[in-house]
Amino acid sequence: MKHFDSSNLESLPSRYRAHLINSCSGYKSANLIGTSSNEAVDNLAIFSSVMHVGSNPPLLSLLFRPLTVERHTYANIKETGVFTVNHVHEGLVEIAHQTSAKYDSETSEFEKVGLTPIRRADFEAPFVAESRLGVGCTYVNEYEIKENGCVLVIASIQHIFMEEKALLEDGWVDLESIETAAISGQDAYAVPKLIHRLSYAKPDEDVKPLQ
């Protein structure tokens, strides 16, 4: 097996290390975060750091890199208190990735990449009309990760919209049916194919595929 130890890692060129370390945690979620500034400029940015935090109350998190440079998404969330999380599906991958270009704060990435901002249920932040699953969130709190200056934003889930076909009768969402993508490393997009759901694990019984 190929082996890197901490001194190998330290001596790697920074781009090489970034590719490597970004891949090691496994697949990541692929979401477009929709926000608006106080000047009503809609902003859209691809994130791989949306994470499930809890279902009661319904919470998710979003990890921001250090705020040493301008972060429009973070600034907008702090200004307005709201944002949307929109699943990237296979057909949106290129334009979703394009949102990571450094546009200025007067420019709406929606316009630049050709996606449609849509307001739903009087929620203030823009959803992506082309996305098949969107979550409306309100800012709750943040934690600075002192080890590297990242900021973990905790948010409360207020609205969920999804194509009807994706919702199963027990509440599980069939992400394959809406072609939700995943991210590996910094720049790769993949579309998962379901193997199966598995039964709740018990110590003296083997797990079984669910139908």
Which residues from 151-190 bind a copy of itself, rule CB under 8 A? 152, 154, 156-164, 166-168, 170-173, 175-176, 180-182, 184-190
Please report how close the Cβ of residue 40 comes to a copy of itself at its closest, in angstroms.
Answer: 21
Cβ closer to a copy of itself: 65 or 78?
Answer: 65
Q: How far is the CB of 133 from a copy of itself (least distance, A)?
A: 7
Return the closest-CA partner of residue 175 out of 184, 185, 162, 186: 162
Dihedral sign of CA atoms 158, 173, 162, 101 in order:
positive
As a whole number of angstroms, the distance between CA 42 and CA 64 comes to: 19
- Nearer to a copy of itself by Cβ, of 46 and 76: the residue is 46
Contacts with a copy of itself in 187-206 (CB under 8 A)?
187-203, 205-206
Closest separation in Å from C-beta 166 to a copy of itself: 8
List the one residue from 69, 94, 106, 211 that touches a copy of itself (CB under 8 A). 94
Element (H, E) at 11: helix 6-11
Number of residues that bind a copy of itself (CB under 8 A): 115
Among residues 103, 110, 115, 139, the one that binds a copy of itself under rule CB under 8 A: 103
How many Å apart are CA 42 and CA 38, to the nearest integer? 10
* 38: exposed, middle or buried (Cβ count in 10 Å: 0-12, 13-18, 19+): exposed
Say if residues 169 and 157 touch (Cβ distance below 8 Å): no
Pick from 5, 11, 38, 39: which binds a copy of itself (CB under 8 A)? Answer: 5
3-class secondary structure, 90? helix
| Cα angle 175, 211, 180; round to 5 | 5
Among 130, 140, 151, 177, binds a copy of itself (CB under 8 A): 140
CB of 4 or CB of 75, closer to a copy of itself: 4
Please, which of residues 8-47 interact with a copy of itself by CB under 8 A? Answer: 9, 12, 14-31
Residue type for 19, please?
H
Q: Give the nearer residue to a copy of itself in terms of CB position, either 63 or 75.
A: 63
Which tokens go with 150? 């990242």
